[in-house]
Amino acid sequence: MQHNNVLVFASYSASKAALNSITQAARAELLAQNTQVIGVFPGLVDTAMSTGVPLDKVAPIRVAQLALQAVENAIEDVYPDPIAEQVFSELNKPLKTVEKQFAAMLPQSA
């Protein structure tokens, strides 16, 4: 889901943004040979890494199911949970607006 940086997870977001970039490049480079490249952009997945994070999480099996459906239906990008869908829909707004919305999610110091 990393089209924008979530400030608390800056390094993680940066690595996901790089993955999105290479997905786009691979899609372009492999187009001539009709190779399908799917980008999967989940929000928070219910794994050991997200234990203790008090947000809604998507089950890993759901991410896998939707990724396979994307292959079957030639869908390029998958947003497998409500958080990912919401963030993607927000990207139709100017990126600075989305950046400020993410920043507002951080705890404010007194």
Of residues 33 and 94, more confidence is placed in 33
- pLDDT reported for residue 79: 93
pTM above threshold 0.85: no
State yes or no: pLDDT of 8 exceeds 50: yes
State yes or no: pLDDT of 38 exceeds 60: yes
Q: Per-residue DSSP letters for 26-44?
A: HHHHHGGGT----EE--SS
Confidence band of 51 (pLDDT split at 50, 70, 90):
confident
- The per-residue pLDDT of the chain, averaged, comes to 83
Question: What's the token pair of residue 35?
Answer: 């190779």
Rounded to the nearest 10 degrees, how much is the dihedral formed by the CA atoms of 42, 48, 51, 53?
-30
Q: In the chain, pLDDT over 90 holds for what percent of residues? A: 39
